[in-house]
């Protein structure tokens, strides 16, 4: 490949100026001259605008008067961009050191129309405890699978879709298939999956590279059925719309949607039962705790056991059991290969090099 392409980095933000500042600090520090940074702000206030003004050469796009408008915000960013590669970040996505080199390398293959990577959601060292390739598939029935996206995998793989907070597209692919579908409303679930499937259907490759990594510091996802009914409604609506739009209304999609509904109901019953047992366990624990508190009040023996006596040591004991460990010193070259501390532990009251012990 000849000259490196121009990359447009579009950051979508909404009412999170603190996170936006940290995201911009990392993106603006990228040592790559052929980049443009675009912030699309759909906040309900003006708190993010002064943050953007602290950085030079940032294109600021204000999108007001709309709610749950991720597809519209992304489309506005595309219209404002001029790069050959268009990358999308959320304001809570902190790029990792190899993010840009790996992203540019993915597009050295002219067949690649979209590329993304790892979304780290746990702190170190837990995020690297397990390894494995992500599961980013869309079944022929329209059921979407997105698992293990935070695991460190072995290398590039081809997938069906990417994660919205860390994805990119070749401009030529977007010109061919169009932008984001604004019919994905409220939570906007499946809006990025929809575009990835359209890119893939047009003959392009969708690539996942774990080196294209971001730290997702404030993932808003809650446990299943931990959200408000409006969110559950939106997720159900968008998932069904996606399946019918991309795979048609046929027996296969109907069976897939029915199976997905069945799994949702099963999980709902399980979590409802877990919730009820949790209430019962909480009440039982409080009853036992009340009994334990009353028993403590009525029993002098229990009160004494609750604060065991720590005997004081006489001064002569302290004087004869003193331990002193001075800081290690750097030996001259030739004496050792690095930092060494000489330890001598002879009995008695004499002083020794490195450590002195009195017994």
Confidence label for 327 from pLDDT (cuts 50, 70 and 90): low
Does 321 lie in the same domain as 250? Answer: no
Q: Are residues 25 and 120 in the same domain?
A: yes
Residue with tokens 């809006």: 191
Please tell me whether residues 224 and 331 are part of one structural domain. no
Per the CB < 8 A criterion, the answer to whether 321 and 359 are in contact is yes
Show which of 237, 254, 271 is a domain's final residue. Answer: 254
CB-count exposure of residue 97 (10 Å: 0-12, 13-18, 19+) = exposed
Predicted confidence (pLDDT) at residue 339 exceeds the cutoff of 60: no
Domain presence at residue 238: yes
Do 239 and 343 belong together in one domain?
no
**Owning domain of residue 328:** 312-359
236 and 342 inside one domain: no
- Boundary (domain end) residue, out of 234, 254, 274: 254
The pLDDT tens digits for 303-317 are 989 899 888 877 766
Q: Is residue 144 domain-shared with residue 229, that is, in the same domain?
A: yes
SS3 call for 58 = strand
Q: Answer yes or no: is pLDDT of 76 > 80.
A: yes
Last residue within a domain, chosen from 213, 238, 254: 254
Note whether residue 351 is domain-resident.
yes
In a domain, 169, yes or no: yes
- Within 10 angstroms of residue 181's Cβ, the number of other Cβ atoms is 18
What percent of the chain lies above the pLDDT cut of 70?
83
- What pLDDT, on the 0 to 100 scale, is given for residue 139? 92
Same domain, 250 and 326: no
Task: Classify 120 as helix, strand or coil.
Answer: strand
**What's the CA gap between 87 and 9, in Å, rounded?**
5
DSSP track, 131-143: ----EEEE-TTS-
Least confident of 86-90, 98-102, 185-189: 185-189
pLDDT at residue number 348: 43
Same domain, 219 and 73: yes
Residue 180 lies inside a defined structural domain of this protein: yes
Predicted pLDDT of residue 61: 96
Task: Quote the CA–CA distance of 169 and 35 in Å, as a whole number.
Answer: 15
pLDDT of 333 reads 45
What band does 54 get if pLDDT is binned at 50, 70 and 90? very high
Residue 158, SS3? Answer: strand
The domain total for the chain is: 2
Note whether 248 and 341 are same-domain residues. no
Question: How would you class 338 by CB atoms within 10 Å of its CB: exposed for 0-12, middle for 13-18, buried for 19 or more?
Answer: exposed
Do residues 145 and 137 touch, judged by C-beta distance below 8 A? yes
In a domain, 283, yes or no: no
DSSP E strand boundaries for 77-204: 85-90, 93-95, 112-120, 135-138, 144-147, 157-158, 166-170
Asked, for residue 266, whether it belongs to a domain, the answer is no
Q: Read off the pLDDT of residues 142-176 as tens digits, 9 standing for 90 and up.
A: 889 998 888 888 789 999 999 999 999 999 999 99
For residue 130, the model assigns a pLDDT of 74
Asked if residue 151 lies in contact with residue 134, where contact means CB atoms within 8 angstroms, the answer is yes
Structure tokens at 115: 């590329």
Separation between Cα atoms, residue 39 and residue 20, nearest integer Å: 9
Question: Is residue 292 in a domain?
Answer: no
Check: CB of residue 84 under 8 Å from CB of residue 23: no
One domain, residues 327 and 205: no
* Per-residue pLDDT tens over the stretch 255-306: 988 988 888 888 888 888 888 999 999 999 999 999 999 999 999 999 989 8
User: What pLDDT is stored for residue 324 in this prediction?
Assistant: 56
Task: Tell whether 330 and 233 lie within a shared domain.
Answer: no
Task: Please state the rounded mean pLDDT for residues 48-66.
Answer: 92
User: Who contacts 305 (Cβ-Cβ below 8 Å, separation ≥6)?
Assistant: none
Q: What's the CATH number where 44 sits?
A: 3.90.550.10
Q: Is residue 121 part of a domain?
A: yes
Q: Would you place residue 239 in the very low, low, confident or very high pLDDT band (cuts 50, 70, 90)? A: very high
Query: Is there a single domain that holds both residue 180 and residue 57?
Result: yes
């Amino acid at each position: 490949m000849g000259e490196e392409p121009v990359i447009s980095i579009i950051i979508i933000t909404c009412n999170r100026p603190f996170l936006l500042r940290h995201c911009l600090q990392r993106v603006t520090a990228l040592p790559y001259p052929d980049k443009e940074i675009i912030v699309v702000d759909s906040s309900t206030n003006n708190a993010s605008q002064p943050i953007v003004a602290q950085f030079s050469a940032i294109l600021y796009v204000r999108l007001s008067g709309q709610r749950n408008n991720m597809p519209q915000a992304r489309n506005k960013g595309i219209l404002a961009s001029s790069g050959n590669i268009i990358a999308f970040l959320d304001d809570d996505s902190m790029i990792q050191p190899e993010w840009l080199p790996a992203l540019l390398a993915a597009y050295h293959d002219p067949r690649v129309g979209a590329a993304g990577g790892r979304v780290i959601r746990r702190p170190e060292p837990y995020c690297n405890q397990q390894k494995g390739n992500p599961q980013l598939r869309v079944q022929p029935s329209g059921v979407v699978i997105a698992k293990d996206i935070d695991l460190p995998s072995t290398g590039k793989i081809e997938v069906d879709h990417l994660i919205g907070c860390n994805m990119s597209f070749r401009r030529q692919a977007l010109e061919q298939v169009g932008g984001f579908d604004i019919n994905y409303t409220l939570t906007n679930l499946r809006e990025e999956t929809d575009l990835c499937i359209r890119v893939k259907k047009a003959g392009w490759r969708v690539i996942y590279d774990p080196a294209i990594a971001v730290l997702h510091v404030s993932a808003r996802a809650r446990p299943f059925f931990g959200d408000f009914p409006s969110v559950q409604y939106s997720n159900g609506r968008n998932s069904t719309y996606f399946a019918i739009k991309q795979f048609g209304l046929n027996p296969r999609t109907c069976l897939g949607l029915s199976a997905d509904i069945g799994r949702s109901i099963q999980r709902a019953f399980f979590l409802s039962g877990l919730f009820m047992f949790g209430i019962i366990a909480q009440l039982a624990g409080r009853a036992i705790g009340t009994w334990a508190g009353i028993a403590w009040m009525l029993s002098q023996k229990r009160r004494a056991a609750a604060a065991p006596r720590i005997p004081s040591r006489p001064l002569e004991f302290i004087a004869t059991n003193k331990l002193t460990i001075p800081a290690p010193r750097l030996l001259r070259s030739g004496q050792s290969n690095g930092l060494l501390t000489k330890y001598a532990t002879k009995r008695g009251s004499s002083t020794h090099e490195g450590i002195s012990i009195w017994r």
